[in-house]
Amino acid sequence: DADVTQTPRNRITKTGKRIMLECSQTKGHDRMYWYRQDPGLGLRLIYYSFDVKDINKGEISDGYSVSRQAQAKFSLSLESAIPNQTALYFCATSDSSGTGEKLFFGSGTQLSVL
């Protein structure tokens, strides 16, 4: 089945470490997004990309960077992880020409920064 795959599913790291979360999709969608979810705060947008050459900051981009290596791949990096970046991270995709703004989500990466 066409899918949105996030790796790793869980990650524990230490303050100051650089880490990368990866997302790949087989849906053929052009748009990809990174969100973080904190308890009681819903989802907040970190970065989004509408095609390979397009990268945009979301609501909470400070401390994060992204790379759109191909249409199917969108990675999120924490340059120097800090404890308040502990959260559940989701990658999502959408198709500008088909289902419009409807998002398809990966299963998430639980990140803990100690």
Partner 1 sequence: SQQGEEDPQALSIQEGENATMNCSYKTSINNLQWYRQNSGRGLVHLILIRSNEREKHSGRLRVTLDTSKKSSSLLITASRAADTASYFCATVSLSGSARQLTFGSGTQLTVLP
Among 90, 93, 111, 113, binds partner 1 (CB under 8 A): 90
For 85, the 3-state DSSP assignment is helix
From the CB of 110, what's the least distance to partner 1, in Å? 8
Using the contact rule CB under 8 A, the part of the chain among 16-24, 38-46, 64-72, 78-86 near partner 1 is: 38-46
Structure tokens at 35: 């969100």
| Residue 26 and residue 2 in contact, taking contact as beta carbons nearer than 8 Å | yes
Alpha-carbon dihedral 43, 47, 53, 54, rounded to 10 degrees: 80
Contacts with partner 1 by CB under 8 A lie at 4, 35, 40-45, 48, 50, 56, 58-59, 88, 90, 92, 100-108, 110
